[in-house]
A and B are shown apart, each in its own frame.
Chain A
Amino acid sequence: ETGVTQTPRHLVMGMTNKKSLKCEQHLGHNAMYWYKQSAKKPLELMFVYNFKEQTENNSVPSRFSPECPNSSHLFLHLHTLQPEDSALYLCASSQGQLSGANVLTFGAGSRLTVL
């Protein structure tokens, strides 16, 4: 496979469940990102990893827990979520992080519904 792959594409969970989103990139990129996309709102950056080190955590609630075991894989662990967390979660990667011309390659997203 090429590009950025996210699984699962759709996830429905209760507020007491624990689940994980997975992201994999085959582009040889060094930076990986989690974004939250809600209808009619700008993309919200959640976490950034550069060379496997977390470099950004934009005041994300602790019920979201990222993990980056290597530069090709990124996880988002979910537990005790709230209905307002229902959204499309996008993973992205880029060659590096700190650059004006930093083009992101996105996955197709994981559509999360919290009941």
Chain B
Amino acid sequence: GQNIDQPTEMTATEGAIVQINCTYQTSGFNGLFWYQQHAGEAPTFLSYNVLDGLEEKGRFSSFLSRSKGYSYLLLKELQMKDSASYLCAVTDSNYQLIWGAGTKLIIKP
């Protein structure tokens, strides 16, 4: 079966750095997404990786290793507003999106 694993919950301190991991086992691979979802709000697109390596966008970076079936989202200089759930999703060979259950990130002052 197809599966995406990510930690259920993580806690970090304001101003620090946190890495949220995502491992996947899917039928083929056509890209990996990270979405951010604040409580009671719509998920919003953060990043897309299809080739191995690191994509940087301001305070957020996303890394992909296709051979390891592994990605991480790196958040630097954490702010209180970064408290949210982070959803990892993979597009398989049939262009179906397979979702992880999300990681709830709690930022403490």
| Docked complex Cα distance between A41 and B101 (Å) | 5
Contact with B along A17-61 (1 / 0, CB 8 A): 000000000000000000000001111010000000000000000
| Docked complex Cα distance between A107 and B96 (Å) | 20
Residues of A within 8 A of B42 (CB): 4, 90, 105-109
Q: How large is the interface on B (under 10, 10 to 19, 20 to 34, 35 or more residues)?
A: 20 to 34
Residues of A within 8 A of B98 (CB): 42
Q: How large is the interface on A (under 10, 10 to 19, 20 to 34, 35 or more residues)?
A: 20 to 34
Does more than half of chain A's interface fall in helix, strand or loop, or is it mixed? loop
Q: Which of A64-72, A73-81, A93-101 interfaces with chain B?
A: A93-101
Contact B4 A42 (CB under 8 A): yes
Residues of B within 8 A of A45 (CB): 96-97
Q: A100-B30, A100-B50, A108-B42 are in contact. Are A43 and B87 (CB under 8 A)?
A: yes
Instruction: Report the nearest B residue to A109, measured CB to CB.
Output: B42
**Smallest distance from the beta carbon of B92 to chain A beta carbons, Å?**
10
Contact A101 B50 (CB under 8 A): yes
For the complex of A and B, 7 pairs with smallest distance between CB atoms: A100-B30, A42-B99, A106-B42, A100-B31, A43-B99, A108-B42, A98-B95
User: A: which residues have CB within 8 A of B?
Assistant: 4, 40-43, 45, 90, 97-109
